[in-house]
Every structure is written in structure tokens, then in C-alpha cells.
Structure 1
Amino acid sequence: MYKFGKINSYEGILDLKKIVKDVDIEEMEEALNICDLSVLAKKYKTWLKHMPRVKPYYAVKCNDDAVVVKELAKLGTGFDCASKNEIKLALEAGANPEEIIFANPCKPASHLQYAKEKKIMTSTVDTEFEIYKIFEHYPESNLVIRFRCEAKVAQCPLGDKFGCDAEEDAAALMLLAKSLGLAVIGTSFHVGSGCSDYPAYNRAIATAKSLFKFGQLLGFEMKIMDIGGGFPGADDSKFATVSEIVSASLDKYFPDDDVEIIAEPGRFFVASAYTLVCKIHAKREIRSGKKADLKMYYINDGVYGSLNCVLYDHQKVTVEHFLDDDDNLKKFKSLIWGPTCDALDKIIEETYLPNLSCGDLVAFPNMGAYTVPIASPFNGFLVPKTLYFKSV
């Protein structure tokens, strides 16, 4: 029998049908996350194959499950942390302080003091106010200047909130740091989460090169370039395409090994590691005459739970069923709702499924990114439990 809170082992291929049958999920109130930790090792291997020069610093905000973070620490990733609690989580997972970047450009002073206590030396900034704050609370920090270079197409654009103007502000921030006796050691950017404009990486790396030259003129030891995140999580062919662009740009603008290149992947590692299994607890048919034009299914998780990615991450989720003989089953236009009383709790507007019944199960693959940390028990509905698996 599978155990919650433990890592269950398996051989060969993870069999979802067998798992949900053995767990008897139909008797559970909450939905079930099935996490395959072996995916993390596969993704790390893929990363090293395509971008061996770039060290991944996992973006903890993407999925802060302690089991996942610990597994990534064992693999050898660094960590991109945005708060003292994320720093604490990474350290407890086994990360060394030098493998953590405090990458939130707008840090509460108490979090900065915690970083000082834990000797987290590298900190991202993008305003003069943040530089003055660091000067007051942690002047020993090594600063990384974050500039804005956003993709034209991204799932979650970030440029409106973070990043200074590379031409107007970045040089001024370096001069300010110099006047205060602070150390600038590099630059960072983030093209946007879920980027689809891959040449944006080339534009940003070219800009970083210019800023490196200016920093060196000021006497700074410019030794770190952070290329941020935005890497696809469930499509390794797209990741290979991104990697080619990044690698070519690095060869052109940063050919020497004296600069450490890091990145902040989140969804790349964890998106495909999770499958969410839900139970249909109610059903409605919209009819015109005797014909059912639309079948509505109400399940035990929704946009206020794990499927918050539909609202907050702009994700287009896909759904699968567990009925046999899928090729010969008649499909019907279907709409899937979450369990709460809010009409915004709509998961999929239109999909085609067989005629399902109350008590049947459905699965949502690629549910590891920006889901678990944001889930809430709104309206009294429980957040999913998680079963962990790892191949032997």
C-alpha cells in the first residue's frame, strides 16, 4: 500500500490507473497529486545536456514542496529565493548559502537581515531605494543589477513590476553602489515566465555584455550573469531550441569561463513531475429538446486550489479520463467546474470527453508549476494530498 508522507518506489513506468485503484481515491474527499520525483533527475540531466555551462538555481516560488526542494538539492541545483522562508527552506533541504541567490529585487528589511545572518551573499537589486536599504542593513552583500528585457510573448510578463531600464538606469545604479562602497558582481534579467519569444534571451545577453563592460570600467569584479527563467516545463524540444539560442549568445558575448552563468528555472523542473487526479462529484446537462448540447462536470479541486494556475499562471490545462477503450467512446462537448460557489471557478470552458458519471475520476497532467504553493481551502474544500514516487 502506498504511504503518504513517504517516497514510494516503482519499477518501469508509473501506472496512474493502478495507483488510483490501490489508493481508493474515490473514497477520498480531497483530490490527489501524484508526484514522480524521478522526473526531476531526468530534467536535470536534460538541462546539463543542453546548457552545461549554465548552473540552474531552482525558483522556489514555483513549487515550494519540501520533498521537491530536498530532491533538487541532492541533484546539485542552486536556489533562487524571494523571502526568508524560502531561504530557510532551501537551507533545511541541504543547500549551501553560496548556492542561494536572494533574487527578489524588493526585499523587506527583516528578510535582508535574515539573509545576513545566514550569510546569503548575493542579492538582486533594480532601484536606488533597494541599494540604500542594502547599504543600511547588509552592506557586505554582493549586488546583481536586474535590468528589464522582456519577451514579446510570455505566459506571465514581469517587466511592469521588476527590472530597471538598461539604458537609463542600470549605469546610474552601478555608480550609486560605487559611491557607497558596495560591490556589484553582475547582472540579471528575466524575459518572462513561460516565454515564447526565444530570441529575447539573445537580446538580453547582448545587453548584459554592455553592462558588464561598464561595471568593469568602474572597477567592479563582474563575475555572475543570471539569465533568469522562462524555460518550458513540459516540452523538451522547445527547451532544446531555447538552449541553442542561449548557448550561441553566450559563445558570442561571454566566451570566457571567468564569468559564472546561472539561471532561475522553475516550471522547467517541476511542471511535468505532477499529475492531479480529481473526482467528479456532480453533473449537469444543458439540453435543447431531447439532445444534451453540453455536459458540465463539477470536480473536487478548482481554481482556488491546485488549478489556480488557470487564473494566476494563465495555463491552459488538459484533462484525461480513466475509462477503457478511449478510441471507441463517443465524445461530448464538456465544461469542467471547480467545487466552490464562485462562478469564476471554471477550469476548462470547452473540451470533449466520454459520458462520465459522478464518482468517475479525471486527471490533469503537468500540474507541478505554480499550483501547490498557491492552493487554498476556499469555501471549505480541502487542498489535494500528495503521493510521492521515485523509480528504482
Structure 2
Amino acid sequence: MASPPVLFSAVGLSPKDRQAIIVEAPTVRNKVTHLLKDGLTGFMQSLILNHHHTKEPFYVLDLGVVDNLMDNWTRFLPMIRPFYAVKCNSDPALLAAMATLDMGFDCASQAEIESILALGVSPGLIIFANPCKLDSHIRYAASVRVNLTTFDSGTEVEKIREFHPKCSLLIRIKPPDDGGSMWPLDSKFGALPEEVEPLLQAAKAAQLPVIGVSFHIGSRAACSRAYAVAIEAAKKVFEAAAQLGMPPMRTYFPDTTGMSIIAEPGRFFVESAFTLAANIIGKRVRGELREYWINDGVYGSLMCSALFEPKNLTCRPLGCNSNRENPTCEGALTYSSTVFGPTLDALDTVMKGHGLPDLEVNDWLVFPNMGAYSSALRSNFNGFNTSAFSTYLTYSNPS
């Protein structure tokens, strides 16, 4: 992207300073429980025994995990500013903590922009990263001075010219290779190579500056080479813009003066930071098979994991009702188990063939790595209110 390099306040901060900033963030202050590295299980047991008489599912958000991931990012990629993809998880405490560290944000709609601006984030730290936007949302972006967006079609150029003529553009291209992504997006978004020059000409005619190139390999890509070939494709766009006499854009070169590199991570920052606890509401025994019903499921937090990533989904027991002396059921005999969600749809099957001990109704199952596209995809199918789940804040320390 052709603008001065942008550094952010997380760079150079000590772990102690970052922690102090995070725990004082709005919506976070006075709500954080500090834990030792392995203190999560005990904390969840305490919550279940002392606070969860209603037995509703709940999340635990470990802001220490988010902080550690931010630290890794700033140490290994200090020249690349992250713009967190809000669609992945829009938990208010999470967003507030990120905002205190001067994170940028990738927003796809007016509502997402509103949620970020409400945290006091500068409009300049927001990218309206949706290549096809509602007219009303473009007008709103103009009104709040969110002046950077993506496009991949001529009709989008016309909409932006009409409703936000002061906006700068990133042309989104289709990457040549999706890297075996589990969630490829190239069938929906991204300009083809032969479309790039006409789109640049359309933007130039509309007097809308194209200041950079955007691409999205897809989520959970398996091959890093996909990024190399996408960057190479982006270089060709910069060259095409120069041939059209447009202001220079630089990338993929040794000389990066005047160059800003950004990334739009989502899953990286949140997947491992959230843990879900769900209550067992029903049980059936069929020989050696154990079948359990829990009060969350495919139509709640577990849609993405259960339907599309079952190999990555796991859980552990908390037998807080049946085995208080050994709630983690360490050493207990396990049985092949099926876990169902609460709705009437047979599709609402969370996992099959998972080894679990012989649990009882009102025991709990704990699901780690539940931060990515869990709360974001919840619905109220069959009348189950999945929007009322509580989120408890912790900060784990390494020792």
C-alpha cells in the first residue's frame, strides 16, 4: 500500500506494560481474573460451582493469550501492521483490549465500523474491507471519515464515486492459488488478471486514488507458496498502475521507502484465546456407546467446528456433579461417545466417536480453541437463545 510505514504502540512495550494497558481497557477494567499458566481448569470449576446455577453455557476469554500473540507478531513482523478482522469474533472486551494496543481493524459493514468507532479508534485505523457494499453503508463510511475500502468491480467504483468521492481504494485481486484453504474465497471476490487494467482505468476516470493491492488466500491455507504467488500477482498490478500514469505503488521490491504493509488476521488472534463450557442436559446408554446432549451445539457456538473442522474439535470433561473429587476424570475409563446439541435437527451433532468417561446430566464439557467464528455464527434456531452466553475475562501469566 503506497503510504508511509505505520508503526503501532504495541511495538517496543514490555510485557508488564502491555498487560497494564490491556486490563485497564474500557469494558475490561475490574473484570479480569489473573491466573497462573495452568489455572484455567480450576477457574472454570469455581465458576460452575459458585456462579452457574442456571447451567447456561459460557466462555472464558484469556487476554494473556491475545497479549502473547500480539507480542509474537510485533517481535517477528514489526513492519506489518495487523488490521484485525472483526467478523471473526466481535466480543466487546476483546475489541477493547485490541484497541488499547492501537490495533487496526478490518470491518465489513456499518455495524462493525460503529462498534470499532465506539471504542475511540481513529477512522484512519479502519479498512472497509468489503468489495461489494450497500449504498447506505458507503454513505455512512463517508460521514465518519473511514476513507479506505476495497473493490473488485466497475459497479463498485461507480458506487464509491457517487457516495464517497474522497475515498481511497485497494484493488482486490483473485490470488492465483488458494493454498488448499479450508475456506477459499476466490469464487466470490477478487479481480481476474484481465480485469485489473480496466478497473484501474475506471478508478482513474472516477478520480478515486488506488493506493494499494489486496488479496485473501482464504482461511486455513495449507501451502505458504500461495502467498508468494499472490504477492507476485500484486506486483503486476503495481506495474500496470505505473504504466497507466497513476501514482506509484510499491511492493515486492528491495526498496520499500514510502511503503506500508498490512495484514488482516482474524483466527490468529482469537482462536486459542476462548474456551467454551457447555452443560450436559441429557444422556443415553446403548451398550458401550454413550450419547450426551449439551445446551450448545451446531446452531450455537459449534457450527464452524462441528460441521467443517471436526478433526480439530475436541473437548474434555468437568464432572463437577458426578465426580467432585476428581472433576477432570483423570485416569477414568473412557467410552466411545456422541455429543448432540439441544435442537431437534439431527444435523445438530457436535461430535461422534470421541472418548469420554461415563458422565452424568449436569456435568460439563469444556471445548478449547473456540474463539474463531463461534459466537459470530450463533443463531436462535428452535428458540434457543444463544446470544445470552456470558464471557468471563482472565489473564494467564506464564508462572
Q: Deviations over 1:259-293 (max 9, x none)?
A: 2110110010011110001111111122xxxxx23
Q: How does 1:109-258 map onto structure 2 within 5 Å? A: 109-149=135-175, 150-165=177-192, 167-223=193-249, 253=253, 255-258=255-258
Cα distance, 1:35 vs. partner?
0.7
- Preserved contact between residue 65 and residue 396 of structure 2 (Cα < 8 Å): no
Aligned equivalents of 1:58 and 1:283: distance in 2?
40
Aligned equivalents of 2:328 and 2:57: distance in 1?
24
Aligned equivalents of 1:304 and 1:224: distance in 2?
45
Q: Residue in 1 aligned with 2:48?
A: 24
Q: 1:214/1:64 Cα in 2 relative to 1: closer, same or farther (>3 Å)? A: same
Percent identical across equivalent pairs?
37
- Preserved contact between residue 41 and residue 75 of structure 1 (Cα < 8 Å): no
* Partner amino acid, structure 2, of 1:126: D
Q: Residue in 2 aligned with 1:346?
A: 349
Q: How does 1:325-336 map onto structure 2 within 5 Å? A: 328-336=331-339
Q: Residue in 2 aligned with 1:246?
A: none
Q: 1:122/1:222 Cα in 2 relative to 1: closer, same or farther (>3 Å)? A: farther
* Partner amino acid, structure 1, of 2:185: L
Q: How does 1:14-53 map onto structure 2 within 5 Å? A: 15-24=39-48, 27-53=53-79
Query: Is residue 296 of structure 1 aligned with residue 322 of structure 2?
Result: no
Q: 1:179/1:42 Cα in 2 relative to 1: closer, same or farther (>3 Å)? A: same
Q: 1:33/1:5 Cα in 2 relative to 1: closer, same or farther (>3 Å)? A: farther
* 3-state SS, counterpart of residue 201 of structure 1: helix
Q: Deviations over 1:205-258 (max 9, x none)?
A: 011111111112323334587xxxxxxxxxxxxxxxxxxxxxxxxxx5454142
Cα distance, 1:327 vs. partner?
5.5
In structure 2, the gaps of 5 or more residues are: 1-26, 319-325
- Which is further off, 364-373 or 353-362? 353-362
Q: 1:6/1:370 Cα in 2 relative to 1: closer, same or farther (>3 Å)? A: farther
Q: 1:263/1:371 Cα in 2 relative to 1: closer, same or farther (>3 Å)? A: same
- Which is further off, 170-179 or 14-23? 14-23
* 3-state SS, counterpart of residue 211 of structure 1: helix
* Partner amino acid, structure 2, of 1:354: P
Q: 1:319/1:24 Cα in 2 relative to 1: closer, same or farther (>3 Å)? A: closer
Aligned equivalents of 2:125 and 2:363: distance in 1?
45
Aligned equivalents of 1:336 and 1:196: distance in 2?
29
Q: Deviations over 1:107-131 (max 9, x none)?
A: 0010001100111111100011101
- Preserved contact between residue 250 and residue 256 of structure 2 (Cα < 8 Å): no
The one of 388, 392, 397 aligned to 1:387: 392
Cα distance, 1:38 vs. partner?
1.7
Q: Deviations over 1:44-90 (max 9, x none)?
A: 11112222221100000001111111111111210000011111111
In structure 1, the gaps of 5 or more residues are: 226-251, 287-291
* Partner amino acid, structure 1, of 2:78: P
- Preserved contact between residue 29 and residue 382 of structure 1 (Cα < 8 Å): no
Q: Residue in 2 aligned with 1:376?
A: 379
* Partner amino acid, structure 1, of 2:380: P
- Preserved contact between residue 223 and residue 258 of structure 1 (Cα < 8 Å): no
Q: How does 1:61-80 map onto structure 2 within 5 Å? A: 61-80=87-106
- Which is further off, 83-92 or 255-264? 255-264
Q: 1:371/1:132 Cα in 2 relative to 1: closer, same or farther (>3 Å)? A: same
The one of 302, 306, 315 aligned to 1:319: 315
* 3-state SS, counterpart of residue 351 of structure 1: strand
- Preserved contact between residue 337 and residue 354 of structure 2 (Cα < 8 Å): yes
Aligned equivalents of 2:330 and 2:377: distance in 1?
36
Query: How many residues align structurally?
Result: 358
* Partner amino acid, structure 2, of 1:60: V
Aligned equivalents of 2:390 and 2:132: distance in 1?
33
- Preserved contact between residue 306 and residue 313 of structure 2 (Cα < 8 Å): no
TM-score by length of 2: 0.84
Aligned equivalents of 1:280 and 1:358: distance in 2?
5
- Which is further off, 120-129 or 277-286? 277-286
- Which is further off, 369-378 or 252-261? 252-261
Q: 1:98/1:312 Cα in 2 relative to 1: closer, same or farther (>3 Å)? A: farther
Query: Is residue 266 of structure 1 aligned with residue 266 of structure 2?
Result: yes
Aligned equivalents of 2:300 and 2:163: distance in 1?
37
Query: Is residue 8 of structure 1 aligned with residue 35 of structure 2?
Result: no
- Preserved contact between residue 153 and residue 196 of structure 1 (Cα < 8 Å): yes
* Partner amino acid, structure 2, of 1:387: Y
Cα distance, 1:310 vs. partner?
2.8
* 3-state SS, counterpart of residue 94 of structure 2: helix
Aligned equivalents of 2:277 and 2:142: distance in 1?
42
